[in-house]
């Protein structure tokens, strides 16, 4: 444990009194069988933002229960700043960083495509000795695998979001459940450059429907939706990135079919 921690029972001042200036009061669990992760992150964030932390630890479940009853809260950790209770770790994060858990963001897609690009470059240099047109192909196919894996993590959540805009899924619901498996499987086969007769038509089929669905929902119907491309729990907006992803798959599939002829 850090040297500046102490048991809850050792606290003399109330949290509202102790939390003033650049001193924050943090209550968190440090039980024999549980060291609260959110409490550790709250402590780290407070120190990163320049606060001295009055770190008060719960050593028993009885202390946790008594604290919750006394302050009418349901969870710990709990943080006080400037004499006021901020709340738990997510509340603290919102207050100190401006983080908004409901805000739309492209960060998951950017991270995924960056990993796919680096993997494609590594494959090209490792197996071909240079960056070639195959690098672009690997980038698309590895992206398909990674995107498919995000969907397979929660197929039920993905299918619900997918049904908001996909034209085929709206007519035949099972397609929303099949899609992640087709995307992932086609990506694997394309990466290995095997069974092109199967992978390329499959990718062309799902990507063509996907591109048409996104174009209709966003550019014709002017709907504001979240994209199911990285799973059912993402805050990625449906739009240009989603359309580009599908068009890349279409291009990859056509190129593979052309080369196979």
Residue 58 belongs to what H/E stretch?
strand 52-58
111 and 92 in a single domain? The answer is no
56 domain-assigned: yes
17 domain-assigned: yes
Cα 42–chain centre separation: 20
pTM: 0.82
Burial 184-206 (b: 16+ CB within 10 A, else e): bbbbbbbbeeeeeeebbebbbbb
How far is CA 140 from each of CA 29, 152, 187, rounded to the nearest angstrom? 46, 18, 8
158 and 37 in a single domain? The answer is no
How far is CA 235 from each of CA 19, 87, 164, 228, rounded to the nearest angstrom? 35, 24, 14, 9
DSSP H stretches of helix in the chain: 15-18, 37-48, 61-71, 89-97, 107-123, 133-152, 155-162, 167-171, 174-192, 196-214, 240-260
78 and 10 in a single domain? The answer is yes
The residue among 37, 62, 97 that closes a domain is 97
SS3 105: coil
Residue 104: the pLDDT is 78
Residue 166: the pLDDT is 96
Confidence of residue 136 (pLDDT cuts 50, 70, 90): very high
The residue among 78, 97, 116 that closes a domain is 97
126 and 250 in a single domain? The answer is yes
175 and 119 in a single domain? The answer is yes
235 and 123 in a single domain? The answer is yes
CA distance 114 to 139: 9
71 and 116 in a single domain? The answer is no
93 and 184 in a single domain? The answer is no
| Number of neighbours of residue 234 by Cβ within 10 angstroms | 21
Average pLDDT over residues 225-249: 84
137 and 64 in a single domain? The answer is no
Whether 95 and 86 have beta carbons less than 8 Å apart is answered as yes
12 domain-assigned: yes
CA distance 54 to 4: 7
Its domain, for residue 219, covers: 107-260
26 and 120 in a single domain? The answer is no
242 domain-assigned: yes
pLDDT in tens, 138-156: 999 999 999 999 999 999 9
pLDDT in tens, 78-119: 999 999 999 999 999 999 998 887 777 888 889 999 999 999
CATH number at residue 89: 3.40.30.10
Q: Give the total number of structural domains in the chain.
A: 2
CA distance 205 to 178: 13
102 domain-assigned: no
222 and 152 in a single domain? The answer is yes
The residue among 53, 70, 97 that closes a domain is 97
**Residue % of the chain over a pLDDT of 70:** 95
Q: Of 18-27, 36-45, 245-254, give the range with the top mean pLDDT.
A: 36-45
81 and 32 in a single domain? The answer is yes
119 domain-assigned: yes
């Amino acid at each position: 444990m850090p040297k500046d921690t102490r048991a809850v029972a050792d606290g003399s001042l109330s949290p509202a009194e102790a939390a003033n200036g650049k001193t924050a009061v943090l209550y968190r669990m440090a039980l024999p069988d549980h060291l609260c992760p959110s409490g550790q992150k709250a402590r780290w964030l407070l120190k990163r933002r320049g606060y001295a932390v009055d770190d008060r630890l719960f050593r028993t479940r009885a202390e946790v229960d008594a604290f919750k009853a006394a302050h009418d809260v349901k969870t710990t950790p709990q943080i006080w700043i400037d004499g006021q209770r901020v709340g738990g770790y997510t509340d603290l994060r919102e207050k100190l960083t401006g983080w908004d858990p409901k805000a739309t963001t492209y960060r998951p897609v950017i991270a995924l495509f960056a990993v796919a690009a680096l993997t494609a470059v590594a494959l090209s240099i490792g197996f071909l000795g240079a960056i070639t047109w195959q690098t672009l192909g690997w980038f698309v196919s590895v992206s398909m695998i990674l995107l498919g894996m995000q969907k397979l993590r929660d197929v039920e959540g993905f299918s619900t979001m997918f049904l908001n805009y996909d034209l085929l899924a709206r007519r035949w619901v099972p397609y929303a459940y099949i899609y992640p498996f087709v995307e992932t499987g086609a990506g694997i086969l394309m990466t290995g450059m095997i069974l092109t007769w199967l992978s390329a038509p499959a990718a062309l089929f799902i990507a063509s429907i996907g591109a048409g669905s996104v174009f209709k929902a966003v550019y014709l119907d002017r709907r504001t939706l979240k994209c199911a491309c990285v799973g059912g729990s993402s805050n990625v907006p449906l739009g240009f990135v989603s359309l580009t992803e599908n068009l890349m798959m279409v291009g990859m599939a056509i190129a593979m079919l052309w080369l196979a002829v």
